Structure 1
Amino acid sequence: MGTSAGTLDSPDADAKIRCSDRSRAAALSPIGTAGTQDGFVLVEMPLPWPRDVGRTPEGVALAPLLAPRRHRLQAVVPADPAAPPQERGVILHSRPPGPGFNGYRRLRGRVGASLTATVAALLEAAADPAPSEFDAPGVDVLVCTHGTRDSCCGRRGAALAVRAADVPGAEVRRTSHLGGHRFAPTFLVLPQGTAWGYADPELVTKVVRREVPFGEVAEHYRGCTGLDGPQVQALELEVLRKVGWSLLDVPRTGTFDGTWADLSWREDGQTVIWAADVRAGRAVPMPRCMEPATPDGGSETEWDVTAVYRCQ
């Protein structure tokens, strides 16, 4: 995946190594690092963004609305930088009510006179299964380019966003921190909620258009943000290897207990269940970006998935 392990041999290089270079050198698996969210609110905010967009006036105003609903704020670069603040776009991806996950509902509005009022209206519409004037089907590809949060995303993510800007069938947007900067460049596909790492423009196209068998992109998969917990995300990866892209289209539910994970959905009037043993695997030393590895530094744990089988 690019950087060779030899890059880490020099003490001088080690003191300045980027986290994404270290991850590539260690062939660190990204699966299970997607996080879990019931929704995302995309708000157009001009650059530069602070390290934490939650500390912006927009973030502070929206926190009481979003935190209880487990919705995440994502700043995105305005589509029209010259547009006045009230004309900037707001997109909500919100998990529909009911069990199972096969994608968020996408709604769209404008900031208008009050960003808080606009987001509240979008959330209210999303909670009602009836059609809404805000419904706006479409695909958003969010590429993390948040350089003030992590230099790897600032360098690699910004380059990816430029090179992948014209991917057919999706709107590619530069966004704030998505997590997983050690796998930079990273991107998130909404409404399907799939997160990816070690990306390049070809990967973005393959994922959006599903042009290749899932197995060809499996090593880039971080997991689905609509599934709870890294263990279930790790199991889903193995099921995707066997079932293919169509799995992302069915409402699926995952659970984890002890070391046992399962993933289930309805198919032809019956419940399909896949299960596996999922345990913590290799722990890879992973200090902060541009800092040397130390004995008491941080680490990243991979997930070992074994005994995968279909129960029903």
Structure 2
Amino acid sequence: MTTTTTSRFCSVCARQAGLSPAGYGGAAYEIFIAAELPLPWPRLMFGDSARMPPEILAVMQHIREEYERDHTLRIRPLGIAPAPDYSVAGMRRVIGWHRPTGPLAQFNRSEYLAPEEQLGPLVYALALAPERLDAFATHGSVDAACSKFGYPAYAQLRRIAADSGGALRAWRTTHFGVHVFAPTLIDMPHGSYWAYIEPERLEWLVSRTGDITRLPQHYRGWAGLPAPFLQVLERELFVRHGWTWLQYAKSGRILAQDETAQPDEHGHAEPAWAEVQIDYHAPDGTSGAVTARVELTTRLEVIHTSGEAETYPYPQYAVAWLREKLHESEQ
């Protein structure tokens, strides 16, 4: 399916075309690492040996080699811009979020404030050598749409954070994928990805009291499950269960999927369907399992970089059917 728009911003074109963010939460990462990195951020910053410590370059090389070997992505590095309320002269703040064992509702957080010269060793330890973390125990520009639409959302989040008494903190981050959904954000430690988040939508996201029927317009997916089929089902369950869904411990698996997919003219070979299952445990002790069939319904051609004419065929997904079974009470 082809669309025509007039805006030079990819995210504006995407919204005009009705591009759904469902299933675009990315990989099911095991580790997120956010490190303070001063602006400006060049496009290939994480590979810049003049700017990055050798340990960070080694982590990036490990990520590339791991992906080339078995097409998995376990580690998501992020740069965060120093902010006056959180930064300390001569120090770098580094936050790690690790996936716990078994079903999860959110990632486990560890946070460090280390001397600048220790940034590289600390990031390396968080990513690849956790046995070295004891040494740090005492230290407590990709797309125009990102800057145009992302900064106002960040500024609003900073205002909300200032009134939260320390319960909320907000950072500008380096690119984490699919800027066509700008302004987009990651909510940690939960690990949810959000799309088209204008300043006026942030209050209901932060308070967890917004109109749940509007959630499908903005929810990309959850980093606790791989994209896209499981993430699409997870979004459906989010809408059905409401904001308390964020507190449920969850796990998921693909039961079966289309094995006949052939590469298209762009070289993409997405399966046309998958049957998936999500198991959950609620805070009140109830639990259940949901099985569903999720289907690729169409592809929308939208420019993927602001100011350029080249388009990308973004797959769109929908839940064809689902069955939910409650387990007997464990209390």
Q: Same fold (TM over 0.5)?
A: yes
Secondary structure of 1:255 counterpart = strand
Amino acid at match of 1:292: A
Match of 1:114 in 2: 118
Which residues of structure 1 form unaligned runs of 5+? 137-147
Cα distance change, pair 133–216 in 1 and its aligned pair in 2 (3 A): farther
CA deviations on 1:83-129 (whole Å, 9 max, x unpaired) are 54x41211111112x1112111111112323213223455689789x
Query: Equivalent of 1:89, from 84, 87, 93?
Result: 93
**Structure 2 residue matching 1:216: 3-state secondary structure:** helix
The answer to whether the Cα contact below 8 Å between 1:252 and 1:264 also exists between their aligned partners in 2 is yes
Q: State how many pairs are aligned.
A: 283
2:224 is matched with 226
Moved more, 42-51 or 52-61: 52-61
Counterpart of 1:33 in structure 2 is 24
Identify the range of structure 1 (205-214 vs 229-238) with the bigger mean alpha-carbon deviation: 205-214
Tell me whether 279-288 or 148-157 shows the greater mean CA deviation: 279-288
- Unaligned runs of 5+ residues in structure 2 are 67-72, 258-273, 327-331
In the other structure, the counterpart of 1:47 is 39
1:240-276, CA deviations, whole angstroms, 9 ceiling, x for partnerless residues?
1111122221220111221201110235767511121
Q: Considering only aligned residues, what root-mean-square deviation do their CA atoms show, in Å?
A: 3.0
Match for residue 291 of structure 1 among 295, 305, 308:
308
1:62 maps to a residue whose letter is I
8 Å contact 1:197–1:221 — kept in the other structure?
Answer: yes
Letter in 2 for 1:192: H
Distance 1:135 1:212 in 2: 37
* Contact 1:122–1:134 (8 Å) recurs in 2: no
Q: Secondary structure at the match of 1:261?
A: strand
Give distance in 2, aligned partners of 1:82 and 1:243.
38
Give the share of equivalent positions with the same residue, in percent.
26
Letter in 2 for 1:91: I
Match runs of 1:41-80 below 5 Å: 41-56=33-48, 57-58=51-52, 61-65=55-59, 67=63, 70-80=74-84
Structure 1 partner of 2:321: 307
Q: Residue 252 of structure 1 aligns to a residue in which SS?
A: strand
CA spacing shift, 1:59–1:155, aligned 2, 3 Å: farther
How far apart are residue 74 of structure 1 and its match? 0.8
1:157 aligns with 2:172: no
Assess if the C-alpha contact under 8 Å between 1:107 and 1:134 holds in 2. Answer: no
* TM-score normalised by length of structure 2: 0.76
Matches of 1:101 and 1:271, distance apart in 2: 13
Looking at structure 2, the residues matched to 124 and 55 of structure 1 have their Cα atoms a distance apart, in angstroms, of 18
Distance in 1 (alpha carbons) for counterparts of 2:189 and 2:154: 18
CA contact (8 A) 1:277 1:307 kept: yes
Q: 1:22 to 1:245 in 2, by over 3 A?
A: same
Equivalent of residue 101 in structure 1, options 101, 104, 112: 104
